[in-house]
A and B are shown apart, each in its own frame.
Chain A
Amino acid sequence: MKYRDLIIFAILLAIAIAFPWMGVKRYLIASALIMFCYATVVSQWNLVFGIAGIFSLAQVAIFAFGAYTTAVLGRYMDLTLWYAFPIAGLAGMVFSFFVGLACLRMRGIYVALLTLAISQVMFVLIQTDSACSPLNQRDNPATCVSFTGGAQGLGGFGSFGWRDVLGGRNWILGDYYTMLALLVVALIFTAAVTQSRIGLAFKALRDNEELARSRGVSVFKYQLIVFAASAFLTAMAGGFYAAHFGAVGSNLVAFPLLLFLISMLVVGGIGKAWGPLLGAFLLMAADEVFKEFSDWRNIGLGMIVLVFMIFLPEGVAGAIEAVSKRATRLWTALRRRSSA
């Protein structure tokens, strides 16, 4: 089974590497790289939500935190973004660690409510941040922006820098492969954690917290570990997102993005190894197809989550697993009959 997963991984990676050279339109390359970014975030979310069973909605806030940290470091400290990314990752870990600490005595839906509230507070803080920041004094007072850029967003902090290396036409390939590399790291990291002893503690707490504690598993320790561990690559993804677009805005913590990403998690299959990737792919594709109905986007996403929760709680990955299990059983039965 693990062997099979490795083969699937190799094939998908080969396709992803070849994709930009298959004569696709430029905007598809751009969409694919955004999909990689979202899939990275969702894969880390899956670690918290699917593997450790903690109903945290903080992942989007961590993503935004990473994006803003990168933007601020790039803009005000003139840091090359390649240095800003790991710092943003570490800052995201610290941020998430404290979110985990705040959620320690809560269970289930209360964790969801608290983490949602944290995102909302971030959103409001950014939206209402309008006073001209001393750091932006060099700007003309009339156009001077606030520290976070407020409702307008913040730009002018640099990019990956691929334009200088690859030129004005091909820089997007640099962004594409950078994002792909992050996703590959995220998938390997998630798989490794899931298979490790730490992952076993996460699953124990998810399946039966009382029993897990009675077998010596500390809630305190592993909840903080999962919050911190899942935040590094999420915040990095935020940084990469900022670097690709060259701007950050409060939409990164707003509800539509949260809904979009949680739909990916649910559609792909909560707790399934391939869930985040499948979900990110399917929802990006659906978004592309239903572009004309964008007014209905949030309602449509809500409906999708609802339908999957009720009829396919294991998501597409779960359904594929079930079908392939049945097919294997049928195949062995047929073989036995033909050999008899």
Chain B
Amino acid sequence: MTPESGEPLLACRNVFKYFGALAAVNDFDLDVHTGDVVGIGGPNGAGKTTFLDVISGINAATSGEIRLEGRDISRVRPDLICHRGMARTFQLNAGFDSLSIRENVLIGSAFGLGDRGVPAVTYSRAMRERVDRALELCRLTDRAHATARDVPVLERKLLMLASAVATDPKLLLIDEPVGGLNPHEVDDVMEIVEGLVAEGMTIILIEHVMRFLLQLSRRVVIMHHGEKIYEGDTQGLLSDRRVVEVYLGAGTADRLQHMLAERAAPNG
């Protein structure tokens, strides 16, 4: 299903990130190929967000190698990493508060693909089309004129996602897209992300809501104390002793087993 052959889109080797003596990311390796949807889970403070910060250039790695399409990006500025095709969302609902939803998305579209030389004054047709497309994919078209500051939490999360999608990323990083949402809203976001997957987008997804993570991911990575303690498919995850011990707990693992079984046989 996924083209496992050839050079990975993203290749991380021996990545470390220290805060003082704390190894928030500890000797982490990860390969992501075009078309992958990789889920990252793990307890609070495991280092998931820090890992995203490191690969997206917000917070440079202490050491290690990070390659996007074979080119080293471990010391590249976040705006240039965005131009090279990696876009992310933030765990805390970041937005351009004084601007409309449309303008928020327009920023991703107008600057996210490259911005060399003297900046033009107006927007190209392609830019506006990317905005329309991103708004549509994230179901924000009807809300485009609302001011970011005033919109409810679900829409804030979606507008952040839409502004990332508008950069037309080769790799999309999503940090806890459903944290703080009610179950109904979780389903809405799930459908939207499924839509992005259907578009063929390559995604790294962080989430605590396991049904969300398991349903969308084709491969799951579990982090603990900055290290990778599991990498593999969703079935194996629920029977992995260490993962059940440090993260899921036996009850949750059982419940998720049932959920997956039901999903595998939807008419049963």
Contacts and interface: CB of A to CB of B under 8 A. Distances in A.
B110 A208 contact: no
B132 interface: no
Interface centre among A207, A212, A225 (most CB of B within 10 A): A207
Nearest to B115: A216
Contacts of B26: none
B167 A215 contact: yes
Contacts of A216: 79, 82-83, 108, 111-115, 167
* Of A204, A214, A225, most B-chain CB atoms within 10 Å: A214
Nearest to A207: B96
A87 to B, nearest CB: 23
Interface string B153-180: 0000000100110010000000000000
B259 interface: no
Given A207-B97, A207-B99, A201 B90 contact: no
A216 to B, nearest CB: 4
A210 B93 CA distance: 12
B98 A215 contact: no
Given A200-B106, A208-B96, A213-B78, A218 B115 contact: yes
Given A214-B82, A214-B87, A218-B79, A201 B96 contact: no
A213 B77 CA distance: 8
Nearest to A222: B119
Contacts of A75: none
Contacts of A212: 96, 107
B216 to A, nearest CB: 22
B108 A203 contact: no
Most buried by A among B56, B78, B106, B163: B78
Nearest to B111: A216
Contacts of A208: 94-97
B217 to A, nearest CB: 23
Interface string A208-239: 10111111111101000100000000000000
Given A197-B122, A216-B167, A211 B96 contact: yes
A170 interface: no
Contact of A198 (B79, B90, B119): B119
Contacts of B110: 197, 200
A196 interface: yes
Taking chain B's interface residues, is the majority helix, strand, or loop, or is none over half, making it mixed? loop
A313 B110 CA distance: 31
Contacts of A206: 98
Interface in A158-208: 192, 196-198, 200-201, 203-204, 206-208
Interface string B120-147: 1111000000000000000000000000
Contacts of B119: 197-198, 201, 221, 225
A206 B97 CA distance: 10
Contacts of B106: 200
A42 B157 CA distance: 37
A218 B98 CA distance: 20
Scoring B56, B94, B95 by chain A CB atoms within 10 A of each residue's CB, the highest score goes to B94
Interface centre among B79, B95, B120 (most CB of A within 10 A): B79
A23 B98 CA distance: 44
Contacts of B83: 216
A219 B78 CA distance: 10
A211 B79 CA distance: 10
Contacts of B113: 216
Contacts of A214: 56, 58, 78-79, 82, 87-88, 90
A112 to B, nearest CB: 21
B167 A198 contact: no
22 contacts: A197-B119, A197-B121, A198-B119, A200-B106, A200-B110, A201-B107, A203-B96, A207-B95, A208-B97, A211-B95, A211-B160, A212-B96, A213-B79, A213-B82, A214-B56, A214-B58, A214-B88, A215-B82, A215-B87, A215-B111, A215-B163, A218-B77
Given A196-B122, A197-B110, 6 more contacts: A197-B123, A201-B111, A204-B107, A216-B111, A216-B115, A218-B115
